[in-house]
């Protein structure tokens, strides 16, 4: 633990590997490590970042991260990727593109493998955050490189959720998932340089109008919309300023600490669900009947709901396998 508290990257990597492990033999030790690190965590600014394909997310994170390290901050970049068990994870490609940030002694880049489930990603990322914060990193950037529910998962574990957009609203505005806009704390139209500058300003105006007719997820904060150029470094200081303003606003209302407390409880509940699912899959009684149940369900001989009830009854023999 001393190595982690000293910010040793190798020891941080070993600690994260331990807490990510799903092996029962590692779980108790990982819990003890996290319990000892927890008093040293919780002081970092946690920022979630997502963006549509081609938005320049890797360039943004590298430029933004280097701006922060140049200003004296220590930056850790983590990734939430529900596809990593199948593809190896986009963060590995991002890491090769973020060469300068990867070489920065005040930065740390780490993927979070999913173990095949989004719940697994969330668990791994939250626990990696504790390790990084205990190691002295005061800015944690959590990147979502997956799709769908991954944005919501990231938003629920960070203080500030930034959505990067492309210039040229038009049809793109119609294709934006409303759910993403509803959880955003800020929208930033990237690539606002050269011939794209005018289109970026127009897109920003369209997004502002879209946000004005939506109910913000935090009543005391209206998500701002800005333009930026990660390639040229323009507008990134304004984004950092808004992140600070967001914290001040929530602090003044007593909402920041309450949000952190709620996230801790949500984390515990998510871990209960994740561990129950893992225990169900590993249970010998369930594994014995699963092939037959799956065959019957696939052939239409058994309703999926009844199949689930039978699995749960085998897992919990004293339960009826259903919700009363």
The CATH number linked to 162 is 3.40.50.300
- Distance of alpha carbon 281 from alpha carbon 106, whole angstroms: 41
User: Using an 8 Å Cβ cutoff, are 227 and 189 in contact?
Assistant: yes
Domain that holds residue 199: 41-253
Name which residue leads in pLDDT, 91 or 98. Answer: 98
Question: At which residue do the structure tokens 């038009």 appear?
Answer: 170
Q: What digits encode the pLDDT tens for the residues 245-281?
A: 999 999 999 999 999 999 999 888 888 887 888 889 8
Q: What digits encode the pLDDT tens for the residues 101-146?
A: 989 999 999 876 555 555 556 678 888 999 999 999 999 999 987 5
Tell me whether residue 269 is in a domain: no
- Using 50, 70 and 90 to split pLDDT, how confident is the model at 21? confident
- Distance of alpha carbon 98 from alpha carbon 192, whole angstroms: 20
Total number of domains in the chain: 1
Tell me whether residue 259 is in a domain: no
Whole-number average pLDDT of the chain: 85
Give me 215's structure tokens.
């109910």
Tell me whether residue 139 is in a domain: yes
Tell me whether residue 229 is in a domain: yes
Which residues on adjacent β-strands are paired with residue 46? 140
**Cα distances (Å, whole numbers) of residue 70 to 66, 106, 123, 140, 232:** 6, 9, 31, 16, 16
Tell me whether residue 120 is in a domain: yes
Residue 92 in this model has a pLDDT that exceeds 50: no
């Amino acid at each position: 633990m001393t190595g982690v508290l000293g910010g040793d990257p190798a020891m941080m990597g070993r600690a994260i590997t331990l807490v990510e492990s799903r092996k029962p033999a590692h779980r108790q030790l990982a819990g003890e490590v996290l319990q000892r690190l927890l008093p040293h965590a919780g002081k970092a600014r946690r920022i979630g970042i997502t963006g549509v394909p081609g938005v320049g997310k890797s360039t943004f994170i590298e430029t933004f991260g280097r701006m922060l390290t140049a200003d004296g901050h220590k930056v850790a970049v983590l990734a939430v990727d529900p596809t990593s068990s199948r593809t190896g994870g986009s963060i590995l490609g991002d890491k090769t593109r973020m060469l300068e940030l990867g070489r920065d002694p005040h930065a740390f880049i780490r993927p979070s493998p999913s173990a095949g489930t989004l719940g697994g990603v969330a668990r791994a990322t939250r626990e990696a955050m504790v390790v990084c914060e205990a190691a002295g990193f005061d800015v944690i950037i959590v990147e979502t490189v997956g799709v769908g529910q991954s944005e919501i998962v990231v938003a629920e574990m960070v203080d500030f959720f930034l959505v990067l957009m492309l210039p040229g609203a038009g049809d793109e505005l119609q294709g934006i998932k409303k759910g993403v806009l509803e959880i955003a704390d800020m929208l930033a139209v990237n690539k606002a340089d050269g011939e794209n500058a005018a289109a970026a300003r127009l897109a920003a105006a369209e997004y502002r109008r879209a946000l004005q007719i939506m109910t913000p997820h935090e009543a005391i904060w209206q998500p701002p919309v800005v333009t930026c150029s990660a390639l040229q470094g323009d507008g990134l200081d304004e984004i950092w300023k808004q992140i600070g303003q967001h914290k001040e606003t929530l602090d003044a209302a007593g909402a920041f600490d309450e949000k952190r407390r709620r996230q801790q409880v949500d984390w515990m509940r998510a871990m209960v669900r994740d561990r129950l699912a893992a225990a169900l899959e590993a249970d010998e009684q369930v594994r014995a009947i699963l092939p037959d149940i799956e065959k019957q369900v696939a052939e239409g001989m058994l309703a999926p709901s009844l199949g689930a009830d039978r699995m749960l009854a085998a897992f919990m023999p004293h339960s009826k396998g259903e919700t009363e």
